[in-house]
Every structure is written in structure tokens, then in C-alpha cells.
Amino acid sequence: MEGAFTALITPFENGKIDYKAFESLVEMQIREGIDGVIPLGTTGESPTLSFEEHEEFIRQTVKIVNGRVKVIAGAGANSTEEAIWLTKEAEDAGVDAVLSVNPYYNKPTQRGLIAHFEAIANATKLPIVLYNIPGRCGVNFLPESVDELLKRVGNIAAMKEACGDIVQIMRIIELCGDKITILSGDDNILLPLLAAGGKGIISVLANILPGDVKRVVTLYKDNKTEESKKLFYKLLPLCRAMFLETNPIPLKAAMEMMGLCRGELRLPLVPLSDENRALLRKSLTDYGIKLK
């Protein structure tokens, strides 16, 4: 579970999933050397897909990838029963692992979070990647609670950390770094996370620059820290631009500008504002990306 992984978008055309565009995107990811792809995470607008669409999208991803890189399927929910069902469906589809986010909206206690993930882990043989993103879920899975979970189950392989607090991330690495892989869930803090002992990233920006995101990680791993740092700081303005509005709004706008897919979103997400669209376009052109 080490390296650079892409949190894939779900491309739409006229309200339907655009599988033709999606296959092209996956092929670009593999061609650029990404270590794995994550369909139907936050970036994939998973809350807006039906169960039928969710199941079919995972199966199509596995088919397109065909074993060339890892497929880590988004399978989280705020109902434990639903998360178990999604996990089993993903397992049946042939994925390599699942990404399981904190239950959102219902705000469980730390004991509730442990019980939720323990139930999912006991229901599958798949490796599980925890996903801690308090800003979206309203609850923070604390390091001591993660440590307790790891004492109860054996198939937690990694954790995507998007809490935004490097001190908390260091505490998780201190407690659990010899048991699971810690991956950055935020492009903006990839370099400090690598310096703290993290082993890679699940990236939004890699949808458009998979090779460059991968190189930051590889250069750091190869002890070429100055080269890694230089490339990271070159990417940093684009990292910020991807969050001018709620992800994946700016990302899909960027991909449309690059001719990779339509920028279509599903409500309640709406297109990028004209003001932020101009800022995004400048960030892309400043980086040297050719736009349509």
C-alpha cells in the first residue's frame, strides 16, 4: 500500500457515467506509472451514485485495470450494515482493497468508530484502508483509537489521513507506523507527511498529473529529497487550486479545460464560479499545462 494512488473522478455525460472517458483516464494513470487507483471515494462523488451504479463502476474499474495496478474501492458508509454490503460487493468484484471512511453525519464516539471498523474488518478478507477526514465526516478517528482497532483485527493495511494536523499524523505514525502504512489524504501536506514517516499519498491532483505526484514520492523514497522538495513546491500552487471550491469541483473544471472529460457534476455540487475558473486556468497555464 505504499506509493502514489489516485482518487479517481467519476466522469458524467448527460447525467450518466461516461465509461469511455473513464477508460481513457485509467489508461493515462497506468501509463504515467501510478501505483493504484481509488474509484468512488470522495473525489468520485460516491454519495450521488446509486447502489447499482456503484457496483457496476467498481466492476468496470477492475476490468479496465486488469491487474496492472492496485484497485482500492471506496466502500464507506455511515451505516455499518451498508458499509459491509459495499465491502462485500467490492470483494466479489475482485478489488485489491477497500477504502472505508469514517461514518459521517451520525458522529459516533471513538468506541463507535472502533466498533464500526471492527465489524467491517471481520466481514471481509480484503485489506482495509481507513479514511480519516474530520472536515467532511464531523468526527476525528484519533491515534489511540486506531491503535486499539489494530489490536482487535488484522486486516487494516493502511490509513488515508486527511485530518490536516501533522502533529496528530505523527502520533499515529508513532503508535501504529510499524503496523500500517500512513498515506497523505491531502496533496498540500504530502512532503511533510513523507518527512514524518508516511509512505505515500491518495491524491486528487494525480487525476491530471499522476506522473509528477508519483515522482515526488519516488524521489523522496530514493533519498533525493532536494529534488522531491523542488517538484513538490512546483506542484503546490496547483494543489491549492484544486480546493478553490469543494473537491472535485475545481478538479473536474481543470480536466474539462485539458480535454480529458466533461466537467459535469451531480447535484448538490455545482460548476466552478467564473472568478475561481479564471484563477484555476492561470494556475494550470503557469504550470505549463496545455488547455483546450
Q: Which one of the listed residues 160, 199, 214, 252 is annotated catalytic? A: 160
Active site residue 160: yes
Q: Rounded to an integer, what distance in angstroms lies between the CA atom of residue 269 and that of residue 252?
A: 11
Peptide bond just before 192 cis, omega within 30 deg? no
184: enclosing H helix or E strand: strand 181-184
**C-alpha cell at position 286:** 503557469
Q: Which one of the listed residues 131, 199, 214, 220 is annotated catalytic? A: 131
Contact in structure between 193 and 11 (CB atoms under 8 Å): no
3-class DSSP state of 5: strand
203: enclosing H helix or E strand: strand 200-203
Contact in structure between 1 and 183 (CB atoms under 8 Å): yes
What are the Cα distances from residue 7, in Å, to 25, 107, 156, 160? Answer: 12, 24, 19, 11
**C-alpha cell at position 224:** 533525493
Query: In this structure, what are the phi and psi dihedrals at residue 279, rounded to the nearest 5 degrees?
Result: -65, -40
Contact in structure between 157 and 121 (CB atoms under 8 Å): no
Active site residue 131: yes
Catalytic sites, residue numbers? 131, 160
